[in-house]
Structure 1
């Protein structure tokens, strides 16, 4: 990384993207290896699950239509009812398996990218073999952080649904009530975006600092202050691109909107290429945003101590100094 830490605080939206691109380009060999090992399988699973879900779901709908047209006293009715029940079970088991495998690959990819950039930042020698030996250790910390963020989102959604129901009962569907509901939904979406940003930054904190889980979430919330606008802009833009790729794949590959095999294959390949590049740059950007936030708050990341911290993942752990002394020490300008 060409920039010194104190210079990172001045990076804006385009500066972060440019720096991320330069990092990937300069270290393209190691990032290509990480992509082939982790991000490509993640992209494949994500896109494939749409196709499989569509096949399973439409098979269930077809059987339900047949069930509605079959007499209740007919033996075929009982067989169809049992088949639909089994198919729904299989559908949800597939969804659980997809969520599990995609989550594991996402956390492994996050661990690999964050560790790689931290190694580059500290000037450590880095190799794909070393990264892959570290990833399983870091993954456990990331899983704890994810579970805390998941719990927060779950509680947030339960409270939001409860408040929405109360609001609807109190105001009804009058013009004033609809306005209040719309405002409530806008605030709800803003809250979801904010929690998402906190989790992404907390994932980086979990790898590069001593804390993880709820403590990493709290640390992330403090770090993001002052750079929230940039983080929100990246979160929304990457999210919209991600949604666009998903919509494009569903329309032209899953539902075959163009009714052409050539278009279906071409769009499928395009979506696959866009998705794995999006995931890679998203992980690089969230790591760089962490460094920018640290610099903005004048929290010095001591390279030798961070290097020792990274070495700890190989089983040669060196305890970090006090957070105020080194890792999070303030630079007195």
Structure 2
């Protein structure tokens, strides 16, 4: 990283983005290999899964009494998609966060070392993910319970206003949970914490930086959403479907689809880099630092390297 930790405190969201984009220049081959092997499959799955599920959904919508096999096939597609998606999401996070931290600690990086570190990091990230998944389950239940009475009530201007307010509140909560999850993922890699403890640490780090986190998360979700909408309208939907842009040429769809996948790959890679840099921004804001020698040893533990007897990463006031 080009900036020192104490210099990160005054960065704006735009500065964080610029600093994140500059990180791969320190190890271009490593990041290129990680992008092709981990970030690309994840991004491709996000868009391409609708090519399989969309025809099934159309068939089930026009034939509500379809055989149970069609429903089972749809559920199987969705299960495999979610399994693949979350697996590569965690793998990408582990590899990118480890590589960025290695650069910060002046530790040699390579594609092989980053992949080797993924295996011991993955269980820690998975435990954190399970707690976030539980939190999202509670969030969705609360959203349903809050909206259901309003949707069942007679339509009126007051009811419409209340629905809009509820959606606005829960949208803000969704952005906060997303920021909490991404920061907790970095904590799970760089500190001896995972699961609920990593989420609690992430919550503490977010204090005072919630607005910046919200800007970064909203920008990331907006970019992903726009790419997904364009992909479904141009590539997935047929020319006669409502909302389609009427692109019929297969070669044109392939070219546009490939370009959109490439855009999403860049968006996801930058998002992973941003969450890594944002962790240091939060640490700097709270006047905390990471001992680079301790971080060096901590990262070496993932690779099975010999580590002298010394304390793990500790948070110390400057």
TM-score by shorter chain over 0.5: yes
Pairs within 5 Å for 1:14-29? 14-29=14-29
Q: Is the 8 A contact 1:198 1:221 kept in 2?
A: yes
Instruction: Give the deviation of 1:163 after TM superposition.
Output: 2.9
What is the Cα deviation at residue 318 of structure 1? 5.9
Secondary structure, aligned partner of 1:207: helix
Q: Distance in 1 between matches of 2:290 and 2:226?
A: 37
Whether 2:156 is the aligned partner of 1:174: answer yes
Contact 2:27 2:109 in 1 (8 A): no
What do the CA deviations read for 1:73-125 (whole angstroms, capped 9, x no partner)? Answer: xxxxxxxx5xx210110111110011001110110000000000000000001
Alpha-carbon shift at residue 58 of structure 1 (Å): 2.9
Query: How far apart are residue 28 of structure 1 and its match?
Result: 1.5
Distance 1:113 1:318, change over 3 A: farther
- CA positional deviation for 1:311: 1.1
Matched pairs, number:
310
Name which of structure 1's ranges 141-150 and 37-46 shifts more when overlaid on structure 2.
37-46
**1:42–1:106: 8 Å Cα contact kept in structure 2?**
yes
RMSD of aligned C-alpha atoms? 1.9
The residue matched to 2:10 in structure 1 has which SS? coil
Contact 1:309/1:319, CA 8 A, preserved across alignment: no
Question: Hey, what does 1:155 align to over in structure 2?
Answer: 138
Q: Answer whether contact 2:146 2:166 (CA < 8 A) is retained.
A: no
Distance in 2 of aligned mates of 1:319 and 1:168 = 61
Per-residue CA shift, 1:11-53, capped at 9, x if unaligned? 1112111111111233221100101111111122222211011
Which residue of structure 2 lines up, in the alignment, with residue 73 of structure 1?
none
Q: Does 1:205 align with 2:194?
A: no
Confirm or deny: 8 A CA contact 1:205 1:220 kept in the other structure. yes
Partner of 1:282: 271
Q: Which residue of 2 aligns with 1:78?
A: none
The aligned residue for residue 113 of structure 1 is: 96
Q: Confirm or deny that 1:321 pairs with 2:311.
A: yes
TM-score, scaled relative to structure 1:
0.88
What runs of 5+ residues in structure 1 fail to find an aligned partner?
68-80
Q: Distance in 2 between matches of 1:291 and 1:319?
A: 25
Specify every segment of 5 or more residues in structure 2 that has no aligned partner in the other structure, as ranges.
239-245
Q: Report the Cα offset of residue 262 of structure 1.
A: 3.5
Q: Please give the secondary structure, in 2, of the residue aligned with 1:267.
A: helix
CA apart distance, 1:60: 3.5
Q: Would you say 1:42 and 2:42 are equivalent positions? A: yes
C-alpha contact 1:46 1:102 (8 A) present in aligned 2: yes
Equivalent-residue separation in structure 1 for 2:160 and 2:225 (angstroms): 27
Q: Deviations over 1:129-158 (max 9, x none)?
A: 111111011111111111100101111221
TM-score, normalised with respect to structure 2: 0.92
Cα-to-partner distance string for 1:166-199 (whole Å, 9 max, x where unaligned): 4567x75332233222211110111111111100
Distance 2:49 2:230 in 1: 15
CA distance in 1, matches of 2:25, 2:94: 19
Residue 283 (structure 1) shift:
0.1
Match of 2:211 among 210, 224, 229: 229
Q: Secondary structure at the match of 1:99?
A: helix
Alpha-carbon distance between aligned partners in 2 of 1:237 and 1:248, rounded to the nearest angstrom: 17
Q: Distance in 1 between matches of 2:151 and 2:29?
A: 55
Deviates most, 96-105 or 50-59: 50-59
SS in 2 for 1:259: coil
Indicate the residue corresponding to 2:299 in structure 1. Answer: 310
Q: Which segment is superposed worse, 222-231 or 171-180?
A: 171-180
